[in-house]
Amino acid sequence: MLFFSSKTAFDLLILITLAKFIAFFYIKADSDIFESIFLSGNDSGYYHAYAMGEVSEVTSVWPIFLKFLHEYGLYDRYVISVILFLISIFIPFIFASLLLKTEVFNNAADRKVYWNFILLISCYPSIFLLSLDIYRDMAMLFLFSITLWLIKKYIEKNQRGKTLLILPIILLIYLLFLFREYLGVSILAGLFSYKLKISKNKKYYFFVLYFLALAILNNFGYLNPLLEYRGQGFTTGNTTLGVSLLNTDTLSFFVLYLYSAIMQLSGFFITSIPSIFIFFTESVFFIIATIYIIRNSNLLTPFARFLIIFSLFYASIWIIGNDNIGTAARLRTFNYISIYLIASIVYIEKLKIHRSKLKKNI
């Protein structure tokens, strides 16, 4: 199923990491190349302006943190961007640690999953692009990876062990909430719901209930703040879907929502050569992983169920509130990594079952 042996994946990882180092410092040294990459705008410019006291409007805790560093003489845009780039190099290993158990490194097939997962995240173009400057996304991904690591420990521990993990988990979720409100809320939703077991027969009822809940929320106007935000600033350009969900009847809302979800989450809205590249290096693996998870949903572990519920909540919110494809590529990174993780966990579970059957036949 997987493309490379552990050794090949490791060797490719070394080459890709070296290439990323070269590309990073080359791009940082040439402002024209950097500006050409971010033709549609650069949030890091706003973060820098806020840190320097040139603007006062604040959108998240990240610019506040940068300004705090500046006030104590610790702020340097170039140095911080280098630190965030180095974090992006190590992030795949933190996420891959969620697959680790003693038996993983005792079994060649499991090691193959581990190294191919790291290679997949290391080749993720959007993560590299977001590591080129002082974007909040790298800090968020780092905090997200640590939060998932603690949550996995929490799910697997006995009651006494769980108690010790509650405080750090709550603090990290709150910090992620300060970065992006619905990211923190979605993690909480996953934590409160991961014990729900959805069998193959019941998953269709689950989706019916999901769309019914969306219909009720929409009809009573609870989604209006998100829908109004969707229409702000995304009305022009070839990177927007141009889909309005505000003031639509229930049937139209569902049709347009599904269209928006498919285009944004699956990356089918292709407008340029870079979007084609991103589709084949990010979205194709997401689609394959999603199909694999659906076909093997009976093998979901409690942590995998947490990731599914988190992904569903998180994607639902940003898909409703966003119409810009460029922004979607940034927002869906948390969904893509979660789905890659779930597929890897399910595959490892499948390998365990296969090994167990072989032992019984010996």
For 33-56, what is the mean pLDDT?
A: 80
Most confidently predicted of 195-209, 210-224, 311-325: 311-325
Secondary structure of 187-239 in HEC code, one letter for each residue: HHHHHHHCCCCCCCCCHHHHHHHHHHHHHHHHHCCCCHHHHHHHCCCCCCCCC
Do 289 and 343 form a contact (C-beta atoms < 8 A)?
yes
Q: Which residue, among 224, 193, 231, 227, has the nearest Cα to 210 in the 3D structure?
A: 193
Provide the residue count of the chain: 362
Is the pLDDT at 105 greater than 70, yes or no?
Answer: no
d(CA 170, CA 150): 10
Task: Name the token pair of 10.
Answer: 């490791």
What value does the mean pLDDT of the chain take?
89
The 10s digit of each residue's pLDDT in 126-139 is 999 999 999 999 99
pLDDT at 201: 67
Most confidently predicted of 33-37, 93-97, 98-102, 358-362: 93-97
pTM score: 0.93
Q: Which residue, among 331, 296, 297, 301, has the nearest Cα to 316 in the 3D structure?
A: 331
pLDDT at 320: 94
pLDDT at 178: 97
Do 177 and 275 form a contact (C-beta atoms < 8 A)?
no
d(CA 226, CA 317): 8
pLDDT at 281: 94
Q: Which residue, among 289, 359, 290, 351, has the nearest Cα to 117 in the 3D structure?
A: 289
d(CA 72, CA 112): 46
DSSP annotation of 324: B
Percentage of the chain exceeding pLDDT 90: 63
Number of neighbouring beta carbons within 10 Å of residue 64: 14
Confidence category of residue 222, pLDDT binned at 50, 70, 90? confident
Which residues share a beta bridge with 240? 324
Task: Name the token pair of 110.
Answer: 């499991």
Beta strands, E only, the chain: none
Q: Is the dihedral of CA 193, 196, 197, 200 positive or negative?
A: negative
Q: Which has more confidence, 41 or 12?
A: 12
pLDDT at 102: 47
Do 303 and 155 form a contact (C-beta atoms < 8 A)?
yes
